[in-house]
């Protein structure tokens, strides 16, 4: 058995795909502890972030790896967690997925959390060289860059894209995210798409208060308000689009972009993060939606094919797993 990792979380698709399915001796991630009062399989809020859990289970793991899920923790909470790990002799690994939390309108809380976690970590990872440079500049830390693994399962990734007429531009209004600003983006897209022969715009919103508000703010446009997609439904939805536009005002990295790359759907992303370092995409400036018009017209004219190769994704996953195993060995062996 490989090193035992207390991963926060373990059940998220990103973390599940950090392991190499062909390596039985690779790191083993502890399952997420049940969350009191939550449905089975729900990992948030993570029980592992409680210092009492660490103290009671320190003999069950060799290293503690934080990815996300600390949105509601104060700097004092995180400092107590770090202190307990230190007293138990367990190293801390932190992957910085977000330099700016997409769920927080105000960056102060996430900044304060990172100001505790990044200096305290025995190893720091992130997904792109741009994010690594920002981390090094801010905290003076050496950062290991490991790319995002595939999101879509290989069998689904290998299916042919469904055929459809015309050119479909999709916009999803993620209602739970503070960084999502779909209304001005949708209006700009509607103007552009109306001028492209054979093109049509599909806008999707969750069936909740904000989703219905988005629909009400876009009279005359076809906004489909529905319950959240299952994974299989989401993959079918994305594969049915030619272009998916990310309506973000701020952000760092995107699992949505990775899923689109797995399925061969072109992404038009804002310039606020490091999206173009994750996978090929077209970039626009959210502050200048004329650049969105230009990006969509480029996608319409050139029809880029940037679909991930399942074999290369499998090889990448092996490399990603090996990189994580090396990081864990380096911190446990100190």
List, for residues 252-311, the tens digit of each pLDDT value: 999 999 999 999 999 999 999 999 999 999 999 999 999 999 999 999 999 999 999 999
What is the pLDDT, as a whole number, of residue 287?
A: 92
% of the chain with per-residue pLDDT over 90 = 92
**What pTM, to 2 d.p., does this model score?**
0.96
Answer whether residue 50 shows pLDDT above 90. yes
Q: Which residues of 178-204 are buried (b: 16+ CB within 10 A; e: fewer)?
A: bbbbbbebbebbbebbeebeebbbbbb
Q: Which residue has the tokens 């290991």?
A: 144
Tell me the two tokens of residue 72.
Answer: 């509601």
What is the pLDDT, as a whole number, of residue 173?
A: 85
Tell me the two tokens of residue 308.
Answer: 């991930």
**If we measure between CA atoms, which residue out of 56, 44, 42, 47 comes closest to residue 88?**
56
Tell me what the mean pLDDT of segment 124-135 comes to. Answer: 98
What is the pLDDT, as a whole number, of residue 46?
A: 97
Residues linked to residue 144 through DSSP beta bridges, in sequence order? 125
**If we measure between CA atoms, which residue out of 278, 259, 277 comes closest to residue 157?**
259
What lies within 8 Å, CB to CB, of 79 at 6+ separation is 116
Tell me what the mean pLDDT of segment 108-136 comes to. Answer: 98
State which H helix or E strand residue 118 sits in: helix 108-120
% of the chain with per-residue pLDDT over 70 = 99
Answer whether residue 333 shows pLDDT above 90. no
For 245, list phi and psi in degrees, rounded to 5: -100, 130
Q: Which residue has the tokens 């009400």?
A: 216
Q: Which residue has the tokens 């058995």?
A: 1
Tell me what the mean pLDDT of segment 140-157 comes to. Answer: 98
Answer whether residue 329 shows pLDDT above 70. yes
Q: How confident is the model at residue 209 (pLDDT cuts 50, 70, 90)?
A: confident
What is the pLDDT, as a whole number, of residue 222?
A: 86
Residue 302 CA from chain centroid, whole number = 27
What is the pLDDT, as a whole number, of residue 176?
A: 65
Q: What is the pLDDT of residues 21-37, one digit of tens each?
A: 999 899 999 999 999 99
What is the pLDDT, as a whole number, of residue 175?
A: 63
Please say whether the beta carbons of 90 and 54 come within 8 A. Answer: yes
What's the rounded Cα separation, in Å, for the pair 197 and 255? Answer: 31
What's the rounded Cα separation, in Å, for the pair 80 and 74? Answer: 10
Answer whether residue 202 shows pLDDT above 80. yes
What is the pLDDT, as a whole number, of residue 30?
A: 98
What is the pLDDT, as a whole number, of residue 177?
A: 83
In order of start, what are the domains of the chain with their CATH numbers? 4-150+315-332 (3.40.50.2000), 154-302 (3.40.50.2000)
What lies within 8 Å, CB to CB, of 72 at 6+ separation is 45
Residues linked to residue 203 through DSSP beta bridges, in sequence order? 171, 223
What is the pLDDT, as a whole number, of residue 297?
A: 98
What is the pLDDT, as a whole number, of residue 325?
A: 97
What is the pLDDT, as a whole number, of residue 1?
A: 67
Tell me what the mean pLDDT of segment 301-330 comes to. Answer: 97
Most confident of 24-28, 123-127, 216-220: 123-127
Q: How confident is the model at residue 334 (pLDDT cuts 50, 70, 90)?
A: confident
Q: How confident is the model at residue 136 (pLDDT cuts 50, 70, 90)?
A: very high
Q: What is the mean pLDDT of the chain?
A: 96
């Amino acid at each position: 058995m490989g090193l035992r990792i207390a991963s926060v979380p373990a059940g998220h698709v990103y973390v599940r795909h950090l392991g190499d399915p062909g390596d039985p001796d690779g790191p083993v991630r502890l399952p997420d502890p049940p969350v009191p009062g939550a449905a089975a399989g729900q990992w948030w809020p993570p029980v592992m972030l409680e210092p009492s859990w660490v103290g009671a289970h320190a003999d069950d793991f060799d290293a503690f790896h934080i990815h996300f899920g600390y949105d509601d923790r104060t700097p004092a909470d995180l400092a107590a967690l770090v202190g307990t790990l230190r007293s138990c002799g367990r190293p801390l690994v932190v992957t910085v997925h977000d330099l700016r939390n997409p769920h927080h309108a105000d960056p102060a809380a996430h900044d304060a959390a990172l100001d505790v976690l990044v200096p305290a970590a025995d190893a720091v990872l992130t997904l792109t060289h741009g994010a690594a440079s920002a981390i090094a500049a801010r905290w003076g830390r050496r950062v290991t860059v490991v790319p995002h693994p595939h999101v879509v399962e290989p069998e689904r990734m290998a299916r042919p894209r469904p055929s459809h007429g015309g050119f479909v531009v999709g916009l999803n209004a993620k209602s739970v995210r503070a960084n999502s600003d779909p209304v001005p983006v949708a209006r700009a897209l509607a103007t552009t798409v109306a001028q492209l022969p054979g093109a049509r715009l599909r806008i999707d919103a969750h069936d909740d208060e904000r989703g219905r508000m988005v629909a009400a703010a876009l009279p005359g446009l076809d906004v489909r308000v529905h319950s959240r997609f299952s994974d299989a439904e989401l993959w079918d939805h994305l594969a049915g689009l030619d272009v998916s536009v990310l309506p973000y005002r701020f952000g760092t990295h995107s699992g949505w972009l990775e899923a689109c790359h797995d399925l061969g759907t072109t992404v038009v992303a804002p310039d606020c993060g490091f999206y173009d370092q994750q996978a090929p995409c077209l970039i626009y400036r959210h502050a200048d939606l004329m650049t969105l018009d230009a990006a969509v017209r480029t996608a319409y004219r050139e029809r880029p094919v940037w679909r991930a190769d399942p074999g290369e994704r499998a090889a990448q996953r092996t490399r990603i797993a090996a990189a994580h195993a090396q990081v864990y060995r380096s911190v446990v062996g100190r």
